[in-house]
Amino acid sequence: MYPQLAIEAAAHSDVGRRRSHNEDSFAAQPCLGLFMVADGLGGNAAGEVASRMAIEVVKGCFEADEDIEETWPCGTGSAHDRDEVRLVMSVRRANRAIYHASQRQALQRGMATTFAGVLLAPGMAYIAHVGDSRVYRMRGGKLERLTRDHTLLEDLLREGDGALAALEALSDRANAITRALGANESVDIESRVEPTLPGDVFLVCSDGLWGPVPEGRIEGILGAHRDLSFAAELLTDLANEHGGPDNVTCVLARLGGG
């Protein structure tokens, strides 16, 4: 592992105003450079179990500092290449763990979860996600989304059918999740690598935040409040002020200088 980076972090989670319990799970681990959110799918059995398993399995892979056998079978490539593959394979391992657990326990049959995670290493951010939990980066006062939702609407838009496909998807199923951890024995994990700069702030959040709160408001809060703990609480409070339709979780990490 790399020497510990200078990273400030904070996280906050709330049940919201319309749910009886919180199916979101998260981790903020500056010592590992690892920041994650998982959102157990509403309406599915044991969503909170699936989200917790996703976080624990991925975190465990990094805490153990072990080589995941399938991560780099040829033993070649740069350390940065290994970081990206290591993160993706950790998420893949979580998917298998959730799926097999759901097959063994009748009460957990069909459980699944979204996942979004950022691994911060010197000069680079490695991002992996499945579903509609998101990763944003705040840089120079501007908020940029770094993930694309795996929903019916966005999948249709990416297919290039344009306005017609979007119009056909504008129904109750438009925001239906098309990928999730645990839904199947294998899953297509989307990943991305971004160069970092000192002062970058990464936000990892569930749809309980970005759904009710416009991105412009999120940008304004992150730009106005340097205290990450205060900003995280303010963001969850704002989601509740906008109706709190879902569990809301946000994880913030800021890279120090030097």
Q: Phi and psi (nearest 5°) for 111?
A: -70, 145
Per-residue confidence (pLDDT) for residue 66, from 0 to 100:
62
The answer to whether 110 and 81 are in contact (CB under 8 A) is no
User: Look-up: residue for tokens 């409070």?
Assistant: 237
Q: Are 94 and 52 in contact (CB under 8 A)?
A: no
CATH match of 7-255 with 3.60.40.10 = yes
Residue 65's φ and ψ, nearest 5 degrees, are 50, 40
More confident residue, 44 or 140: 140
- Please answer whether residues 195 and 144 qualify as being in contact, where contact means their C-beta atoms are separated by less than 8 angstroms: no
Q: Do 26 and 37 meet the contact criterion of CB atoms below 8 Å apart?
A: yes
| Distances, alpha carbon 68 to alpha carbons 53, 82, 83, in Å | 18, 10, 11
Which token pair is 124? 């680079």
pLDDT, one tens digit per residue, over 116-137 is 999 999 999 999 999 999 999 9
Q: Does residue 98 contact residue 54 with C-beta atoms inside 8 Å?
A: yes
Classify residue 232 by its DSSP letter. H
Q: Is pLDDT of 3 > 70?
A: no
Count how many Cα atoms sit within 13 Å of the Cα of residue 247 in the half-sphere of its side chain.
24
The CA–CA distances, whole Å, from 24 to 38, 40, 75, 205 equal 6, 6, 36, 10
What letter represents residue 241's amino acid?
A: E
Q: What is the DSSP letter of 107?
A: G
Distance of alpha carbon 117 from alpha carbon 91, whole angstroms: 9
Q: pLDDT grade, residue 67 (50/70/90)?
A: low
CB 49, CB 39: distance < 8 Å: no
Tens digit of each residue's pLDDT (9 = 90 or more) over 161-220: 555 555 565 666 777 899 999 999 999 999 999 999 999 999 999 999 999 999 999 999
Q: Tell me the C-alpha distance between 182 and 103, whole Å.
A: 10
Please give the model's pTM, rounded to 2 decimal places.
0.90
Window from 47-56, 163-172, 179-188, 242-251 with minimum mean pLDDT: 163-172
Strands 115-121 and 142-145: unpaired
Q: How far, in Å, CA of 209 to CA of 215, rounded?
A: 9
Which residue from 236, 202, 182, 221 is spatially nearest to 29, judged by alpha carbons?
202
Distance CA 46, CA 113 (A): 10
User: Quick check: helix, strand or coil at residue 187?
Assistant: coil
